[in-house]
Structure 1
Amino acid sequence: MLTMKDVVREGHSSLRKIANEVEIPPSEEDKQLLNKMMEFLVHSQDPEIAEKYDLRPGVGLAAPQLNVNKRMIVVRTTDQNEELLEYALFNPKIISHSIETTHLESGEGCLSVDREVPGIVPRYARVKIEGYDLNGEKVVKRLRGFLAIVFQHELDHLNGIMFYDRIEGDDPYKVPLPPNEIIKRNEQDSPLS
């Protein structure tokens, strides 16, 4: 069983590496690890088990957080209809996204970060993702809202990016303009010749 002792913390070199693709079909070893990662989320969300094993509750986990340099993530949370959703994917990636951005009002947290980092973390409001499930079958999903934010947070881990890298340094609570608003402002500021 995975515990918080297995989760590496900020400053660890594995959190800053670009993870390697997993060979598809996945090996038994990779499948077992993905299952253990999901089991960790299940346990961390169960108040009794979490207290017994001193687990911090999590909604997502990426293999680099376990010092495993592979493109593997798990996500377990509810959608806007309170329906439980679980995703365990190899080689996940965003294949399209909205121009519109969003963020969590309360900011983001991370199992690999033992401190609060205040600030707005801009994310795409909607994403279409692709990856491979435990059987090596291709999965394509459209995600929005909180679920889209969680996926982007975990995908960042596969690329050596921490959530606080996306916070505006000079003004952590600055709400970034959507790309189309930046274009409109630039057009207004500079007269056409």
Structure 2
Amino acid sequence: MITMNDIIREGNPTLRLPAEEITFPLDEETKKLGQDMLEFLQNSQDPELAEKYQLRAGVGLAAPQLDISKRIIAVHIPDMEDETNEPILSAVMINPKVVSHSVQSACLAEGEGCLSVDREVPGYVPRHSRVTVTYLDLNGEQQKIRLKNYPAIVVQHEIDHINGIMFYDHINQDAPFKLDDNVSIIS
């Protein structure tokens, strides 16, 4: 089971390296890694398990955050509008790529956080408000999804991790809360 002790923090060089493509068929170790990453996110969103295992809540995790330089991410995004708490998106994505995106950008009103960053980083993180992403699932089947707003932002954050990019690289260093006209703020 993955815990916070397994997650490396900013300053570790693995977080700045472009991760390696994964080849198929998947070995059992890579399949288990994907399943464990998704399980961590689910556990981190369960108040009892999060408290028991001292987990910070997360909606996305990339293998480089576990000091594994492979192009694999997991996302588990709850639907805050739905009382059953069924996720909007719950997936393990291998070799994910943004294949198209909107001109319009968006950012989260409260900024972004990261399980590998133990500090508040103030500022807006502009990202594409809509993206189309292709990836392979754990069975090696090609998937293509279209995402907008919050789910699009989460997936772009995780894809950045496999490209050696941290969320705060997108913040305007001179004016952290200054945005271009084409950026909408998601609250």
TM-score where L is the length of structure 1: 0.90
Are 1:172 and 2:176 matched, yes or no? yes
* Residues 53 and 3 (structure 1), Cα distance of their counterparts in 2 relative to 1, 3 Å cut: same
| SS of residue in 2 equivalent to 1:148 | helix
1:73 lines up with 2:73 in the alignment: yes
Report the residue type matching 2:7 in the other structure: V
Q: Distance in 1 between matches of 2:180 and 2:157?
A: 17
For the pair shown, which has the larger CA radius of gyration, 1 or 2?
Answer: 1
CA 1:81–1:138: 2 relative to 1, 3 Å: farther
Deviating above 2 A after TM superposition, structure 1's stretches of 4 or more consecutive aligned residues are 78-83, 176-179
Instruction: Count how many residue pairs are aligned between Structure 1 and Structure 2.
Output: 179
How far apart in 2 are the matches of 1:164 and 1:87?
A: 25
Q: How far off is 1:132 after superposition?
A: 0.4
Q: Distance in 2 between matches of 1:124 and 1:33?
A: 28
Amino acid at match of 1:126: R
Match of residue 159, structure 2, among 155, 168, 171: 155
**Which runs of 5 or more residues in structure 2 are unaligned?**
none
Tell me what 1:93 maps to.
Answer: 97
Give the strand-richer structure, 1 or 2. Answer: 2
1:55 has 2:55 as partner: yes
**In the TM superposition, what is the alpha-carbon distance from 1:176 to its structure 2 partner?**
2.6
Deviations 1:126-185 (A, max 9, x none): 000000001000010000010000000000000100000000000000113439xxxxxx
Cα deviation 1:109-129 (Å, max 9, x = unaligned): 000000000100000000000
- Contact 1:122–1:176 at 8 Å: present in 2 too? no
Give the Cα–Cα distance (whole angstroms) in 1 for the partners of residues 2 and 128 of structure 2.
31
Retained in 2: the 8 A contact 1:101–1:123? Answer: yes
Give the aligned CA root-mean-square deviation in angstroms: 1.3
Secondary structure at the residue paired with 1:118?
coil
**Rounded Cα–Cα distance in structure 2 between residues aligned with 1:147 and 1:131:** 15
Task: Report matched runs for 1:18-167 at 5 Å.
Answer: 18-79=18-79, 82=82, 83-84=86-87, 85-167=89-171
Offset at residue 79 of structure 1 (A): 4.6
Give how far 1:80 is off.
7.3
Residue deviations 1:95-116, cap 9 Å, x none? 0000000000000000000000
Query: What does the per-residue CA deviation read over 1:47-102, in whole Å, with 9 as the maximum and x for residues that have no partner?
Result: 01100110000000000000000000000013576341201011001000000000
C-alpha distance 30-88 of structure 1, shift in aligned 2 (>3 A):
same
* One-letter amino acid of the structure 1 residue matched with residue 180 of structure 2: P
Q: Which residue of 2 aligns with 1:185?
A: none
- Partner SS state of residue 95, structure 1: strand
Quote the offset at 1:24 in angstroms: 1.9
Alpha-carbon separation, structure 1, partners of 2:177 and 2:46:
32
